[in-house]
A and B are shown apart, each in its own frame.
Chain A
Amino acid sequence: MAEALRPYLPFLLWWVPLLPLLAGGIIAFLPNSRGRVASRLAIGALFVSCLLALGAFACTLHPGEPENGGAFPALTWFTFGDVALRIGLMLDPLSAAMTAMVTFVALWIFVYSIGYMEKEERFGRFFGFLSLFCGAMLLVVLSNSLLLLFMAWELVGLASYMLIGFYFEKPSAAAAAQKAFITTRVGDMAFFLGMIWLYRQSGTLLFHDHGHGLLDSGVLTSLAGVTTIGGLTVSAGASLLLLVGAMGKSGQVPLHTWLPDAMEGPTPVSALIHAATMVAAGVFLVARTYPIFGNGGGVTTPLTAAAWIGGITALYAALVALAQTDIKRILAYSTVSQLGFMMVALGTGGVAPAMFHLIAHAFFKALLFLSAGSVIHGCHEEQDIRRMGGLRKQMPKTFITYAIGMMALAGFPFLFSGFWSKEAILHGAMNWSGGCGPFLLAVSAALLTAFYMTRQALLVFYGEPRQPGVHHPHESPSVMLVPLYVLAAGAVLLAIVGTPAWPWFEAWINGETAHYKLAALWKPEAIKLIGLSLAIVTLGVGASWAVYRRVATDSNAPDPLAGKLGGIWGFLERAMGFDALYEKAIIGPLAFFAGAIDALERQIFVPLMGLGESWLKRCGRWTGITDEAGLNCGFNTMCAGLQSGADGASHRQNGRPQGYLRAIGLGMSVLLILYFWLTA
């Protein structure tokens, strides 16, 4: 069946991003009252898109390198002079995997939103934004052109802005949306510069173009050939710029500050955008342009940078997550940390482990967020974990799905995809020839991940209920639970394709065939790593259990770790002061500058304008006066004169014929006198 689809792929593939975009466009015109129509439209479009994506995925299943890198013929967007900018789509295993994941996860999150956003007034508008986002994200992953990718990237940022600020009446939400947009903008600037640099050097923006594309060997060698500042090659320099762009979108330190604040948006938004898909776009960008990053072979500068930045981010976020009390914020920092892991994987191990972790992470992070949403919904919009507890008994189904997600994230052994994906990353980091720094950072972060996830689980679901008031939590409706089940199943089942026994995913991404070999698990290296992962998980979970087991009775009691860590706890809670730093160093001067310009405007330009305005008014008044006094007066006088003359003339007609006759007589005699005089 997949073969039957293949001839139509160039046409059908465009509809994968286009259908959600069109749905979003149509929804923009629907009134708020037609919320149900909007949601059905959005889900319908995405469903068809998902089917197409799965079909496309099936088409990539046969092994071997696809021709032209999987790129389809590109369309000319516009020309200037004799240069044409072309855009197009491509379908290789990387984009097929991403497309299938995005459509599948998004579809279930849409279904979940029907229940979660039920009471929302702008229900339809929400689905419109979500559709817009999905369309843009699909364009990002399917794009064959760096330019189209960038445009869709920006569109994704826009959708994120609109969704974070969905509750725009809340000032904190509006501020968070602005922060997200501006922080990612910094990254986007670097992305843009990198893109322009690549274009200038190679003359093309397509990834694969029959040998002339950016990822084709010919161009790559030319990019490696030219050296610029600091001894960097063009590919290294441009890759570093692209990396900054990825850092902005994927929340790497120091451009991570927007992600925790982005939790102001509704929970489905957090699940879809800030866990599963958009934040993965940065990782995807690096994966897509990996040949440029790794150009020259071995440990290149950009890859080293990626690995170190990823490692630092992973550890930093894990430390901060320890001290958070908002259920969504813990998950947000967890996302930052896992994105760091993905960057480490890209830097040290290549595209396959990073992508596998990305897809697995999408499933279980979305699962965790949706479960958190279920918890929040059930606890009547309560988000502080200190005020939750004992939910295991009151919301059992949510607990089960949450537990599956948590175990996947923490890396519980064997059954869960997270275990195998993390193991693959650690494997790559351990064997990296550029040093063991990232490896150590990753291991520490993994330990802390297990610790804080167990903490969260204990505080939310175990112990005695600590909720204020008499409102008892209730389980969520099935429209919200079914997506949880599906995602949980995915989180588990994905494990199958990532084990060393049958590394199907890795092989498929690289275009090779995978062989099932159970004996691979017993290789000494594999045993070492599995043992390490097991140790990490056990240590983390065990320590957390020990600390938090007895806590869960009093909501006002301080965190037991706070006492042990003292001042560091507060430092961690404030996310190590990054926000305060940015506030002082960047926002402060900017605000001052803005104030200076405002003062300039107010004190100088406005009075100048006022002067001009008063002068114009004066001129106008004078013109008016001349018009009134001169023209009008003259005209009026003339008219009055005419009128009085006519009046006088008409008074001659007093109705008395004798007067008329006198006039006739006089007139006649005058005429005759004239006649005689002239003819005499």
Chain B
Amino acid sequence: MIPLIPLLILSPLILLAALGAVWNARPVHAALLLALALALTAGLYLTIGADFIGLVQFMVYVGAVAVLIVFSLLITRPGDEAEELARRPGAAVSGLACVLPVATVLLYAVSHTPDLSSGASESPTLPLQTLGKALFTDYAPAVLAVGVLLTAVMVGAVLFARDPDKKPPTPPGP
């Protein structure tokens, strides 16, 4: 029961933050609420025992993705009115109508999940050596592929984001 307490506290908070991120009309608020939800999720991982994952979550999601989202919001500066879901009841209703069946199905599946915990007395740990070894031996091709992907993404993002009118800088020469 006691290990569940952090879970019980964090779960609703995560959901509330997520709801806020979804419902809030002001984009920046929504983005920041997303960051909050992600951070809380990272905390969740930490309390469970997936320390490394929690830290990675924090660094990448909160530190990079959420920041990226905020930056793009700063660049594009959208207005608030369009997002007011109270003003667009039709959209809200139809969105709900599409989402509820999905929710039903998922919850149904959850409720029918058997108890899979085996007779393991200890909670699993996340030894970093095992993780590292697995990454660079069994999953080495996957890691390399992800590396290539990230390189491609970086190049692509740079290409997309540059100013098309500006000439490339000439290298200094004699």
Contacts and interface: CB of A to CB of B under 8 A. Distances in A.
A676 interface: yes
A673 B99 CA distance: 14
A77 to B, nearest CB: 99
Contacts of A666: 98, 101
B101 A662 contact: no
A670 interface: yes
A73 B108 CA distance: 116
B2 interface: no
A673 B94 contact: no
Interface string A649-669: 000000000000010011011
Interface string A37-67: 0000000000000000000000000000000
Interface string B97-123: 011011011001100000000000000
B124 interface: no
Contacts of B108: 676
Interface in B71-97: 94-95
Contact of B94 (A662, A669, A676): A662
| Interface SS, A side | helix
B34 to A, nearest CB: 19
Contacts of A676: 105, 108-109
Contacts of A665: 98-99, 101-102
**Which one of B101, B102, B108, B109 has the highest number of Cβ atoms from chain A below 10 Å of its Cβ?**
B101
Which secondary structure characterizes the binding site on chain B?
A: helix
A518 interface: no
A672 interface: yes
Contacts of A668: 102
B46 to A, nearest CB: 32
Interface string A136-177: 000000000000000000000000000000000000000000
A139 B21 CA distance: 121
B101 A670 contact: yes
Interface residues of B, number: 10
Contacts of B102: 665, 668-669
A670 B100 CA distance: 11
A617 to B, nearest CB: 62
A673 B100 CA distance: 12
Nearest to A663: B98
A662 B105 contact: no
Nearest to A662: B98
A673 B101 contact: yes
A669 B95 contact: no
A665 B102 CA distance: 7
Contacts of A662: 94-95, 98
A171 to B, nearest CB: 97
Contacts of B98: 662, 665-666
Most buried by A among B94, B95, B98, B108: B98
22 contacts: A662-B94, A662-B95, A662-B98, A665-B98, A665-B99, A665-B101, A665-B102, A666-B98, A666-B101, A668-B102, A669-B101, A669-B102, A669-B104, A669-B105, A670-B101, A672-B105, A673-B101, A673-B104, A673-B105, A676-B105, A676-B108, A676-B109
Given A676-B105, A676-B108, 8 more contacts: A662-B94, A662-B95, A666-B101, A668-B102, A669-B102, A669-B104, A673-B105, A676-B109
Interface of A: 662, 665-666, 668-670, 672-673, 676
| 4 A-B pairs with the lowest CB-CB distances in the bound complex, closest first | A669-B101, A662-B98, A672-B105, A665-B98
Interface of B: 94-95, 98-99, 101-102, 104-105, 108-109
